[in-house]
Chains A and B, each alone.
Chain A
């Protein structure tokens, strides 16, 4: 796995990103330019429909732009860098809806991210257990998602995002389904992970206090960066 630390230039760069839907009738992004350095913690905020989640999905290789480029360490996603490989090796996603698989236990949900990397089964299980311990879920690792609280599910999702030791941690409204106590806990965990591991973290949020707490805060409106 390549490390972004020590690389010259931004770890992520968006150049003229345009994303449109319905044959161009809806424009979610209207020309976004952005540079993010390795190890940065960036919050992206904006009203509903502003394009903040779309931008995160393009930066994370979940979707492709209608126009423009996303570069990871100077290499263009989808051309020089295979999107599947990029997502599996470099990116850890945390979603608002957790997106855990209901038939798998917590530890299995973490391991499923590692299945595509062909690690040995015992290594996968050991790593999943260590990550869940780190999330304070040591006693809950064999529970199914429906046996966990919302905060616990999001912690499982964070453990899953870290399973392949990514360089980028991308969180899309990670506290959107949580109460204030759990929201604060989850944000503490995310910030702690970034500091301990030196990861680059981008958090999309509509909550101003979360956005303002980030060292860098990007505001987006109508598909364009305001500040």
Chain B
């Protein structure tokens, strides 16, 4: 029986005839999509965890300095915020990413001992810290990575702290974080009298007013009362705080470069392929193939490269995320949870990359006249 030839089978045979080149091209697009999945996935998971932290702590509004990337506000403004009628509680805070050991870095928070945010944490051992004392609470993941327990000592930026307790929080960010008294954090960060933000908890929304509308109205009231500040609903703050913004920027920038390299790889492969197959394209045209059939064939090959590279890249990116989420150096800020929608988005991006890369070679192939192509040596 004669073997059947389908259009896709023909495209596959064309890719398979240059196995090494096809594999190298796949490596390129795999790395591009892998970088996208890992980096952008990381930054999105980071934002998601940040949101979970706000939600679990009951934060409704974050008040920061208008200049978002280096927010530093007088701690004394807490009183003015507290005077806004809708505000129930105000928690001044500082956060920063710090090296705890040469191998381990973590998010470090400075909170007041009476902050309502502490209420959302589950103390696994030890006790809460006291203001004015060099004590810290360690998230359970970080404590495990550092091998610390309640009562141990930990040096942060040259200051020795006693581990007052180990806690479990509502998000991966808290599990890998350090919390110390605000006054101690101000000394460590060189921000005496200053805070990064105020986390505001509102009174219950008035009857008949939606939560979102209520938060927006309260945010506007706070901004009006404190010129030079911005009051963000917690959901917005989760994606515009300086660390998340930085993570997003680095992730998109790096993966865009990796993707561009992958796209150029496919474009180069397809252009070379069309160049080498000039006479074959002439034969197909002589057999009655229209220009659009040639375009379809070349795009099918480029798309197949994008699709296969996308699947492999998702595997590589996911694997990288899982690895990073287990390493002590990165476990506190990396979550391996990636939504299926995001993986689908990555696959579609890979297919689009294939189509984009194949467009010019396909157009060039379709423009070849049958006789010119047949005469090609």
Contacts and interface: CB of A to CB of B under 8 A. Distances in A.
B289 A88 contact: yes
Nearest to A84: B290
A107 B2 contact: yes
A132 to B, nearest CB: 7
A95 B3 CA distance: 24
B289 A84 contact: yes
B287 A116 contact: yes
B14 interface: yes
Interface string B8-33: 00100110110000000000000000
Given A89-B288, A115-B293, A124 B13 contact: no
Interface string B343-364: 0000000000000000000000
What is the interface residue range for chain B against chain A?
20 to 34
A63 B5 contact: no
Given A84-B290, A112-B5, A63 B14 contact: no
Interface stretch (B114-122, B189-197, B316-324, B367-375): B367-375
What is the interface residue range for chain A against chain B?
35 or more
B280 interface: yes
A113 interface: yes
B142 to A, nearest CB: 57
Contacts of A91: 288
Contacts of A173: none
Nearest to B2: A107
A84 B1 CA distance: 30
A128 B2 contact: yes
Contacts of A12: none
Given A107-B3, A122-B4, A113 B17 contact: no
Chain A, interface SS category: helix
Contact of A62 (B284, B289, B291, B371): B371
A105 B370 contact: no
Chain B, interface SS category: helix
Interface in A66-115: 84-89, 91, 93, 95, 99, 101, 103-105, 107-108, 111-113, 115
A105 B284 CA distance: 16
A57 interface: yes
Given A125-B2, A142-B3, A99 B374 contact: yes
Nearest to B291: A84
A225 interface: no
Contacts of A141: 2
A104 B284 CA distance: 13
A45 interface: no
Q: Which of B10, B16, B291 has the most CB of A within 10 A?
A: B10
A217 interface: no
B286 interface: yes
Contacts of A85: 288, 290
Contacts of B369: 63
B87 interface: no
Q: Which of B16, B285, B287, B289 has the most CB of A within 10 A?
A: B287
B283 interface: yes
10 smallest CB-CB distances across A and B, nearest first, come from A88-B288, A107-B2, A129-B2, A108-B5, A87-B288, A111-B5, A84-B290, A125-B4, A113-B287, A63-B371
Interface of B: 1-7, 10, 13-14, 16-17, 279-280, 283-291, 293, 369-371, 374
14 contacts: A62-B370, A63-B369, A87-B286, A93-B287, A104-B10, A107-B2, A107-B3, A107-B5, A108-B2, A112-B287, A113-B287, A115-B289, A125-B1, A142-B3
